[in-house]
Structures are given as structure tokens and as C-alpha cells.
């Protein structure tokens, strides 16, 4: 996806208090002012989901990571507009995730509509590939949970296999979240909104870490 350069990006990146600074030393208490539960979204895009989560669950601490500065500034602006104190942002690549968290620090991890990388030779780039799951397993708390949504059935089936083969227990597997499982609490993302307008099914599952399996 081509992203248009925005004039205000540098200003927001340099001045927003919502961005984790470069000298960060895993002191999340400094940001949140409490030692509460930490929930993380990777590839947050324009941040509709994480901001709504932060609004609805005031007792939880939220962090959203996004590689593209011109995209994440929209997420940061939403948080600032709503004066949210329980959400912060990391502008970085997921491959650097371990820099920001201690072992077992994250209780919930959200992966929403990540790039499917359909070619087999690119499988390692999928955010549910076992190499990424190994990193998530380090930062996830015992019985920590991954919430996964996608519009791509092939990626979904691949991901179910990866979760199951790498020490996660699968729950609430849905092949059409909105039509077949309307009772599940769901907060929509920007991409999800677009797919729903096109009447496309949304695939969803929860993957719970089983600590007794090998890490
Ligand atoms: C298809 S968009 C989905 C955005 C949002 N989650 C949603 O559902 O509306 C995928 C997002 O993941 C980001 N992304 C892709 N690879 C990433 C990486 N390695 N690290 C961090 N973010 C990444 C992209 O920049 C993009 O904003």
C-alpha cells in the first residue's frame, strides 16, 4: 500500500508525549503511572481499534506499534484528541518488539488485518509465522492471549496451524465473525470497516499461551 507523505508527521513524531522515546528502558510505569496490565497491538494502522479499546477499558494499559510514521500519526492524534492517558505508541518494526518488553509483560496481544504475504516464499514475513510467535511467547504473560482477525482465509488457516503447532490453545474460532458470532465482543478496525462494507467475512480466533509447552 502506498502511503501519502504528510507534512505534520515530523512535528508530531518530534513533539507528541504519546510516543515512546528512543531512550526507553522498559519502564512502562513511567508512562502509565501504574503497574497495571499491558495490552499490545501490532500494526495498529490509524488506530481506531486501540483508541476505542483504551476508551472502553480504562483500567488497562494499551500500547500500539506501527512501522509507518505517516500512518501512526492519525492514531496518535485520536489519542490526543480524546485525552487518553492509558495508550502510548511505538513507531518501529515488529521485529524489534523484544527491545520494549520484559519477559511475560504483555497480557493481551492484538493482530488485526496484518499483511497476508500470499506467496509461499514470503511466509516468514507473516506476523503469525512461528518465528514471530517465538518472540510473542517471550513477552506474553503466562496464559497471555493473542486476538487475531483477518479477511484472508489462507492466512487464517495458516495462522491456526502455526498457533496450534507452537504451544497455543485456540478458542472462539470464527469463519464469519459478524454474521455467525455476533455475541462476541468486537471493536472494529479501519480495515474491518472497509471489508464489512464489501460484505466480506471476517475470520477471528483467540490463541492462549500454554506455558507448559516448549518455548
Ligand atoms: C493492512 S494494515 C491494517 C491496519 C489496522 N490494523 C487495521 O486493521 O485497520 C497493516 C498495518 O501493519 C503495519 N505493518 C506492516 N508490517 C509491520 C511491521 N513489520 N511492524 C509494524 N507494523 C507493520 C502497516 O504499516 C499497516 O499499517
Could you report the per-residue pLDDT of 180-215, keeping only the tens digit for each? 878 888 999 999 999 999 999 999 999 999 976 454
94 pocket-lining for ligand 1 (C-beta < 6 Å): yes
Grid cell listed for 33: 503511572
pLDDT in tens, 18-53: 999 767 777 888 899 998 899 999 999 999 999 999
pLDDT value at position 215?
Answer: 46
pLDDT in tens, 45-59: 999 999 999 999 999
For ligand 1, the distance from its centroid to the CA atom of residue 212, given in whole angstroms, is: 31
pTM of the model: 0.95
191 pocket-lining for ligand 1 (C-beta < 6 Å): yes
Question: Of these residues, 11, 23, 93, 115, which one is catalytic?
Answer: 115
Contact 109, 96 (CB under 8 A): no
Cα separation, 213 vs 48, whole angstroms: 34
Residue 99: count other Cβ atoms within 10 Å of its Cβ: 12
Q: What does 16-41 look like in DSSP terms, one character per residue?
A: -TTBPPTT--S-HHHHHSS---EEEE
R_g (Cα) of the chain, nearest Å: 17
- Compute CA distances 75 → 34, 134, 185, whole Å: 23, 27, 22
Catalytic residue list contains 115:
yes
- Compute CA distances 72 → 67, 108, 122, whole Å: 8, 20, 25
Q: Where are the domains of the chain?
A: 36-209
Cβ contacts of 42 within 8 Å, gap of 6 or more: 64, 65, 94, 97, 109, 110, 111, 114, 127
> Ligand 1, residues 6, 41, 67: which to mutate, most atoms within 8 A of Cβ?
67
For the CA of 115, the closest atom of ligand 1 is: 1
CATH topology of domain 36-209: Rossmann fold (3.40.50)
114 pocket-lining for ligand 1 (C-beta < 6 Å): yes
Amino acid at each position: 500500500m502506498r502511503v501519502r507523505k504528510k507534512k505534520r508527521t515530523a512535528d508530531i513524531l518530534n513533539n507528541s508525549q504519546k510516543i515512546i522515546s528512543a531512550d526507553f528502558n522498559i519502564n512502562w510505569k513511567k508512562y502509565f503511572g501504574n503497574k497495571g496490565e499491558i495490552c499490545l497491538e501490532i500494526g495498529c494502522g490509524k488506530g481506531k481499534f486501540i483508541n476505542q479499546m483504551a476508551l472502553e477499558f480504562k483500567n488497562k494499559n494499551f500500547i500500539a506499534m506501527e512501522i509507518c510514521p505517516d500512518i501512526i500519526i492519525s492514531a496518535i492524534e485520536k489519542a490526543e484528541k480524546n485525552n487518553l492517558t492509558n495508550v502510548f505508541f511505538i513507531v518501529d518494526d515488529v521485529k524489534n518488539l523484544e527491545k520494549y518488553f520484559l519477559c511475560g509483560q504483555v497480557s493481551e496481544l492484538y493482530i488485526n488485518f496484518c499483511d497476508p504475504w500470499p506467496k509461499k516464499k514470503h511466509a516468514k514475513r507473516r506476523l503469525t509465522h512461528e518465528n514471530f510467535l517465538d518472540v510473542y511467547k517471550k513477552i506474553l504473560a503466562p496464559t497471555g492471549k493473542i486476538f487475531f482477525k483477518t479477511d484472508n482465509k489462507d492466512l487464517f488457516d495458516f495462522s491456526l496451524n502455526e498457533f496450534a503447532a507452537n504451544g497455543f490453545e485456540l478458542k472462539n474460532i470464527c469463519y464469519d465473525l459478524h454474521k455467525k458470532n455476533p455475541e462476541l465482543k468486537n471493536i472494529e478496525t479501519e480495515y474491518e470497516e472497509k471489508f464489512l462494507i464489501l460484505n466480506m467475512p471476517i475470520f477471528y480466533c483467540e490463541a492462549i499461551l500454554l506455558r507448559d509447552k516448549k518455548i
